[in-house]
Amino acid sequence: MAAGFKTVEPLEYYRRFLKENCRPDGRELGEFRTTTVNIGSISTADGSALVKLGNTTVICGVKAEFAAPSTDAPDKGYVVPNVDLPPLCSSRFRSGPPGEEAQVASQFIADVIENSQIIQKEDLCISPGKLVWVLYCDLICLDYDGNILDACTFALLAALKNVQLPEVTINEETALAEVNLKKKSYLNIRTHPVATSFAVFDDTLLIVDPTGEEEHLATGTLTIVMDEEGKLCCLHKPGMFPPLQS
């Protein structure tokens, strides 16, 4: 009977739970889902991490490659994030070029990296004006059940902490780079930004870590990224939707 009511009136079904200050999966309004992290699972990547926030699963792989720096920033490396939401994770995504959701998530992760200064780009420089590291961070969602931004930020942070870069020296005579794979060092991670997403219901209630259904029923979403000093790196509030009924 409850299943029937849920199909016909999903918002009312939800409201019944919210009145009692809890949610259908048994969580409080301010409670997160069980989070698990698995570091270094991809051996072919320079750094990797798998994060599960309840059912939402995101895997991040970081590959480091050489690149020539741009002329206006000769001592800065690059960090290039890319979020991929394949058809595997949810039926709403089709194969083909990245959809809007994936592009917005990619831009969000790029903004978090830029604003929080998680890695100083100067640390990625090998030889100013000639050679720098570029870190390609690929985040792939394996299971989409809401709160993708939190999971991506967490996976990215965990993967970057796991990255080990080999030592590179430029041979003076041949001007070629020599990579010493035996001597590897971790990246210098300056801050630890953490993202928290909220779903807004009926313009009054805030619930933390929304699932896929909750995001769909909500009036709006809000994501805040803070570092350990309490500074805000990003306040992402992509607008509110008008309530479904009106």
Partner 1 sequence: MEEETHTDAKIRAENGTGSSPRGPGRSLRHFACEQNLLSRPDGSASFLQGDTSVLAGVYGPAEVKVSKEIFNKATLEVILRPKIGLPGVAEKSRERLIRNTCEAVVLGTLHPRTSITVVPQVVSDAGSLLACCLNAACMALVDAGVPMRALFCGVACALDSDGTLVLDPTSKQEKEARAVLTFALDSVERKLLMSSTKGLYSDTELQQYLAAAQAASRHVFRFYRESLQRRYSKS
What is the nearest approach in angstroms of partner 1 to the Cβ of residue 242? 6
79 DSSP 8-state letter: E
What is the nearest approach in angstroms of partner 1 to the Cβ of residue 225? 10
How crowded is the C-beta side of 209, counted as CA atoms within 13 Å?
A: 19
Residue closer to partner 1, measured from CB, 48 or 116: 116
What is the nearest approach in angstroms of partner 1 to the Cβ of residue 60? 18
Residue whose C-alpha is closest to residue 30's, from 237, 215, 197: 197
Pairwise CA distance, residues 9 & 38, whole Å: 38
Residue closer to partner 1, measured from CB, 50 or 83: 83
On whether the CB atoms of residues 59 and 155 are closer than 8 A, the answer is yes
On whether the CB atoms of residues 17 and 140 are closer than 8 A, the answer is no
What is the nearest approach in angstroms of partner 1 to the Cβ of residue 107? 4
The DSSP element (H or E) to which 155 belongs, if any, is helix 148-162
Residues of the shown chain interacting with partner 1 in the complex, contacts defined by CB under 8 A: 100, 103-104, 106-108, 110-111, 114-117, 220, 227, 230-242, 246
Residue closer to partner 1, measured from CB, 107 or 169: 107
Residue closer to partner 1, measured from CB, 46 or 214: 214
Residue closer to partner 1, measured from CB, 41 or 117: 117
Residue closer to partner 1, measured from CB, 113 or 165: 113
What is the nearest approach in angstroms of partner 1 to the Cβ of residue 230? 7
* DSSP-based three-state secondary structure for 189: coil
Output the six-digit token pair for 213. 């259904």
Output the six-digit token pair for 237. 């509030």
What is the nearest approach in angstroms of partner 1 to the Cβ of residue 237? 4
Residue whose C-alpha is closest to residue 60's, from 160, 144, 146: 160
